[in-house]
Chains A and B, each alone.
Chain A
Amino acid sequence: MLNEYLQVLKSEWLLIAIIFILLFIKVGSKEWKNETLLYSINFLLLLNLIAGYFYNLPGSLFNGMYFSNDLIFLQKNILNLGMYLVSLIAYPWLKEHKHLLEFYILILSTLLGMFFMISSGNMLIFYLGLELSTIPLAALANFDLEKRKSSEAAFKMIISSAFSSALMLLGISFLYGVTGTLFFSELATLIHGGPMEIFVFILILGGFSFKMSVVPFHLWTADVYEGAPVAVTAYLSVISKSAILFIFMTVMFTVFRNLEPQWYFMIFLLSVLTILIGNLFAIRQNNMKRFLAFSSIAQVGFVLLGLSGVSKIGMTSVIYFLLIYLFSNLAAFGVVALVSATTGKENIDDFKGFYKTNPFLSWVLAIALFSLAGVPPTAGFFGKFFLIMSGAERGNYVWIIFAALNMIISFYYYLRVVKAIFMDQNETPIKTIMVPALPKLAMAICLLGIICTGFLSWIYDAIFNLCNF
Chain B
Amino acid sequence: MSEIPLTHILFLSTGLFFIGVYGLFTRRNMITMLMSVELMLNSVNINFVAFNKYLYPEKLDGIFFTIFVITIAAAEAAVAIAIIINLYRSHHSIDVEDASEMKY
Which residue numbers of A lie inside 8 Å of B, CB to CB? 123-124, 127-128, 131, 135-136, 138-139, 142, 145-149, 151-155, 158-159, 162-163, 166, 169-170, 172-174, 176-177, 180-182, 222-223, 226-227, 281
Task: From known contacts A146-B90, A148-B90, A176-B61, infer whether A162 and B80 are also in contact, taking CB-CB under 8 Å.
Answer: yes
Chain B residue nearest to A148 (CB atoms) is B90
B1 close to chain A: CB less than 8 A: no
Contact string, B65-99, partner A, CB cutoff 8 A, digits 1/0? 10011001001100110111011001100001001
- Residue from the list A124, A131, A281 in contact with B76, Cβ < 8 A: A131
Q: Which of A138, A159, A166, A174 has the most CB of B within 10 A?
A: A166
A158 to B55, Cβ gap below 8 A?
Answer: no
Task: From known contacts A146-B90, A177-B55, A180-B59, infer whether A159 and B102 are also in contact, taking CB-CB under 8 Å.
Answer: no
Per the bound structure, the CA–CA distance linking A182 and B75 in Å amounts to: 23
A176 to B68, Cβ gap below 8 A?
Answer: no
- Report A4 CB to chain B, min CB distance, Å: 24
Number of B interface residues in the complex (CB < 8 A): 42
Per the bound structure, the CA–CA distance linking A148 and B102 in Å amounts to: 10
Instruction: Determine chain A's interface SS by DSSP, over half rule.
Output: helix
Q: Which of A155, A170, A174 has the most CB of B within 10 A?
A: A155
Per the bound structure, the CA–CA distance linking A170 and B44 in Å amounts to: 6
Per the bound structure, the CA–CA distance linking A124 and B91 in Å amounts to: 38
Task: From known contacts A127-B68, A145-B86, A155-B87, infer whether A162 and B76 are also in contact, taking CB-CB under 8 Å.
Answer: yes
15 inter-chain pairs at a CB distance below 8 angstroms, sorted by A residue, are A128-B72, A138-B79, A148-B90, A149-B101, A151-B99, A152-B87, A154-B87, A155-B30, A159-B37, A162-B41, A169-B69, A173-B44, A173-B47, A222-B102, A223-B102
Q: Considering the complex of A and B, which 5 residue pairs feature the smallest CB-CB distances, nearest first?
A: A173-B47, A166-B40, A177-B51, A151-B87, A169-B44
For the A-B complex with A148-B91, A158-B83 known, give 17 more contacts whose Cβ atoms are closer than 8 Å.
A127-B69, A131-B75, A138-B83, A147-B90, A151-B90, A158-B79, A159-B24, A159-B34, A162-B41, A166-B37, A166-B41, A166-B44, A172-B44, A180-B59, A181-B61, A182-B65, A222-B102
Per the bound structure, the CA–CA distance linking A135 and B61 in Å amounts to: 24
B22 close to chain A: CB less than 8 A: no
A170 to B17, Cβ gap below 8 A?
Answer: yes
Chain A residue nearest to B36 (CB atoms) is A163
Chain A residue nearest to B64 (CB atoms) is A124
- Report A295 CB to chain B, min CB distance, Å: 16
Chain B residue nearest to A170 (CB atoms) is B44
Chain A residue nearest to B37 (CB atoms) is A162
B72 to A131, Cβ gap below 8 A?
Answer: yes
A173 CB contacts on chain B under 8 angstroms: 44, 47-48, 51, 62, 65
- Residue from the list B33, B47, B61 in contact with A124, Cβ < 8 A: B61
B83 to A155, Cβ gap below 8 A?
Answer: yes
Task: From known contacts A128-B72, A152-B101, A176-B65, infer whether A166 and B83 are also in contact, taking CB-CB under 8 Å.
Answer: no
Per the bound structure, the CA–CA distance linking A242 and B87 in Å amounts to: 30
B104 CB contacts on chain A under 8 angstroms: 222, 281
B48 CB contacts on chain A under 8 angstroms: 173, 176
A151 to B101, Cβ gap below 8 A?
Answer: no
B80 to A159, Cβ gap below 8 A?
Answer: yes
B79 to A153, Cβ gap below 8 A?
Answer: no
